[in-house]
Chains A and B, each alone.
Chain A
Amino acid sequence: MRHPDNSWLLPVLSVCSILWWSACDDPKKNEASPVQWQAQAPVGEGAAVYFSAGQYDHPRLVATISARGMEHVAGFVLRLRIDPLKWRFVEFRPASAWVLRPRMAAAARDDLILLGIGVPADTGGTAFSDNPVGTLVMDVLDASPADLSFVTEKSAVLDHLGQRLPDVSFFGAGLVGSP
């Protein structure tokens, strides 16, 4: 599914501090929910793709995918595994951090969400240093704990030469039971 052309202009939704294990939701809004958003914080200093923020307002979840430790990034190939009984993919919106408007494709198939987002090689790519890549919008079908995990062998970051960046770690997120 291609995103409408002006979607990248949409404001990036709330970006919380990038702390280990960030829980960015407004607790008041989720007061009645048995689950809350929780993202796995990136470990170490290396190149990483991770969820930097998320806002869960049942049934809508809006989560920001960010990246760090990367230069000359031409694009991301991301694949997430979900439980289709618990999640429904809505859309993916490019962030404004890109050097120019990225081209994006997204689709859901069975228990997978497939994303591709990038810019032409001749742009030289974009540096990502804790910058958002884009925003993932999901509907929660069943407010119970559920993972949103990257399929690492099918996820990659490509530089402006089309080469896959080595040693990139992917950190997922999910809904966990409210305390």
Chain B
Amino acid sequence: MILLGMVLWVPGAGARTGQERSGRPGWVPAAGMPLRTELARVVEQVRREKHGPPSIMEDGAVDLLHMGLDVWLGEDGRTVDATVVLTVHTNAETGDAFYLWLDRGMVFQTADASGVGVLVDSQEYPPFQYSMIRFSPRLAAGETVEIVLTYSGMLACEPYGARESQYCGGDDQLSYYMASGLFPMFMDAADPYGALSYELDLTLRTPAALDALVAADFNSESIDGTQRVSVWHAEPYTSGMNLILLTGLFESIPAQNVQPPTSVRYPVGNQDYAAYMAEWCPDIYSFLEDVAGGPFLFEEVTIFKLPIVAGFPGTATYGLVYLSDAYTTSSMQWFEEILAHEISHLWWGILAAPIDVSRTALMTEGMAITSQYEYIRRKYYDTLDADWVLWTKFRRNQIYLWYLTDPQMLPPILLPEGGSWPDTVNEQVVWAYYKTSSFLDLIRVTLGDDAFFSAITVYVDACTHSECTLDDVEMIFEQSSGVELTHLFDAFARTTTYPTLELGFVPCAPDASPCISQVTLSQETEMSLPVELFLEDEAGVILHRARVTLSSLSAEFPITTADRAVRVRINPRLQAFYRVVPVVVGDVNFDGETDGFDWLEVVLAQGRRAVLDKVNPGLYDIDEQFDTRLDPVIDGVIDDADLDLISAGFGAVSGGAK
């Protein structure tokens, strides 16, 4: 089994249409489980019903070596006549069968292979159909066979799933077609989640009047009567990406001073924001070159600005980035940030493609979120305190984790073997995008920026066009940094852990010189946890940052500062996972006593809710300014219950502070 095939959706957070903001029903970008993973779950369930555990055969039944496609698409954009030639190699004892997913409007007409019978058993899973392809007699292990199948019909292009995503659709301006609709999506019968890497040759016959754009290297094009015949090719380790065809009338503008050559394309007459996208490319490329250690390994890159198309907000695939301008409705900086996210996927999931992508989104969506946050920080807020800037970003992660979902119910970042993605869209997105990026940030805080980003370049080098797993990621980070990280990966990536840390503070005497503050940390279960302590003065200025390790149930850390520190905090970037409570009940500002300042902070915030009080709140329905410190009860509402808790401790002191 080899590499990849997935849809990398852009996150939905923050993208609201004018309609939504005005309270009317509006288009909501899809965000959630990649289609391939969702479909793999279907056939895996079928397989288990028939054969039961053990679940997945790691090597799979077959390797797909080559896919040759000749596809005719009618003037109506829905009528299809296609031939697919598959070259497969059978593996050991695990079988010889595979699935092909297509729009349910497609019907297989013929199926042939040299010297062996081909059996096609099609089942509907609306709006898709999946067909098991088997051989009679069964192929021997190690055999390579070429299968020729023809299919034709009328594409239904219907929505699927709770968010009504689509795999094909569009209108006169733009039509889009993905694998599992027009193109067959290949799936190993013994390892449906397993990713693939195969060489692709594609001949397209599309209406001559329309442009065609495919996620592959362009070879040639000619006009044959009313048809445009275009030929495309993709090398292994890239062709497993989601194969997407766009048709329509397109214009483009080049992005200046970037490598590889890049253009921004858009449907004719839909040029709004395209110039901005081209203008941002040099900064985004420069940033990603710095992070990844080099330019994208494509001959060229196309960034396609999508109009608002139902079910298709954006994605990235082989040398192509798609992004809907619906993301402009929040702010242009947000649009730029999401563009950085999508372009970064050319590394995170396309070139450096984890083999365990059906079980974890750590190095795909997690890295894309990490990239978008860091890009915006470096570009716009480089002169500000990096922890503070990043916290303004990662606070969203914490709110999603703690309040929009039940963090205890979210699965580990690495799903157990055979485990499923979460069920709801909120859970899927929080698990795939925000829990992962918060974990990467925990590693980043632990290692420091230099070591973290050095490890990322090592990862890119080792895992581009390769087969890396989360275990490899851990090893790369450890070897590159020299820091043992297994316990963190075990606690926060392979299992679900949210340790509660009790934080105490006793300031030095006002006239002490030097000023030595006493910080105490304790935990309920003995773990080795990296902690970064911030000691602040009265104005909130960080006087001292101290990285410590809490490796026992309780520990004291005397910390010397030049000026007098009056409070302590744990770097809030760590607090997606760490639940920090004060030693003194109600001491929400962690100055060592519970007094009127604590009381007033909570009083002023009375009534604030982490998540809007509505039925089925979504990713847009959070208060990004919600201060989790002021919700010691951790119920998502700052209310009487929190005041009661502070009241219970009012006047208490940890010692020395008066």
Contact = CB atoms under 8 A, between A and B. Distances in A.
Nearest to A2: B647
B646 interface: yes
A41 interface: no
15 contacts: A1-B651, A2-B644, A74-B600, A75-B604, A77-B595, A77-B600, A78-B596, A105-B599, A105-B646, A114-B596, A118-B599, A118-B603, A154-B595, A156-B597, A160-B604
B596 A121 contact: no
A115 interface: yes
A46 B402 CA distance: 45
Contacts of A122: 607
Interface string B599-610: 111011111000
Nearest to B653: A109
Contacts of A75: 596, 600, 603-604
B212 to A, nearest CB: 55
B643 interface: yes
8 pairs of A and B residues whose beta carbons are closest in the complex:
A107-B651, A116-B596, A116-B599, A77-B596, A120-B606, A121-B604, A75-B600, A118-B603
A120 B597 contact: no
B650 interface: yes
Contact of B597 (A77, A109, A160): A77
A119 B602 CA distance: 10
Nearest to A1: B650
A76 interface: yes
Interface in A79-100: 79
Contacts of A162: 601, 604
Interface string B626-650: 0000000000000000011011001
Interface centre among A102, A103, A109, A119 (most CB of B within 10 A): A103
Interface string A147-168: 0000000101010101000000
A68 B601 CA distance: 22
A117 B643 CA distance: 12
Contacts of A154: 595
- Is the contact region of chain B dominated by helix, strand, or loop, or is it mixed? helix
Contacts of A1: 647, 650-651
Contacts of A158: 600, 604
Interface in B118-140: none
B658 interface: yes
A15 interface: no
A77 to B, nearest CB: 3
Interface residues of A, number: 31
Interface centre among A1, A102, A108, A109 (most CB of B within 10 A): A109
Contacts of A115: 596
B600 A107 contact: no
A177 B607 CA distance: 48
Contacts of B598: 116
A158 B601 CA distance: 9
A80 to B, nearest CB: 11
Contacts of A77: 595-597, 599-600
Nearest to A153: B538
A121 B627 CA distance: 14
Contacts of A116: 595-600, 603, 650
Contacts of B647: 1-2, 105
A119 B604 CA distance: 6
B597 A105 contact: no
Given A119-B603, A156-B597, 9 more contacts: A1-B650, A74-B604, A75-B603, A76-B596, A77-B595, A107-B650, A118-B600, A120-B607, A121-B605
Contacts of A114: 595-596, 650-651
Interface string A108-130: 11101011111111100000000
Contact of A120 (B603, B644, B646, B651): B603
A43 to B, nearest CB: 24
B593 to A, nearest CB: 8
A105 B653 contact: no
A23 interface: no
A103 B606 contact: yes
A173 interface: no
A12 to B, nearest CB: 21
Contacts of A121: 604-605
A118 B596 CA distance: 9
A29 to B, nearest CB: 32
A24 interface: no
Contacts of B596: 75-79, 105, 114-117
A175 interface: no
A160 B596 CA distance: 15
A106 interface: yes
B510 to A, nearest CB: 9
A114 B595 CA distance: 6
Interface in B545-577: none
A120 B640 CA distance: 12
Contacts of B643: 2, 103, 105
A62 B595 CA distance: 22
Interface string A56-83: 0000000000000000001111110000
A65 to B, nearest CB: 13
A108 B605 CA distance: 25
A105 B650 contact: yes
A105 B651 CA distance: 9
Contacts of B646: 105
A76 B303 CA distance: 55
A79 B595 contact: yes
Given A1-B650, A114-B650, A114-B651, A103 B597 contact: no
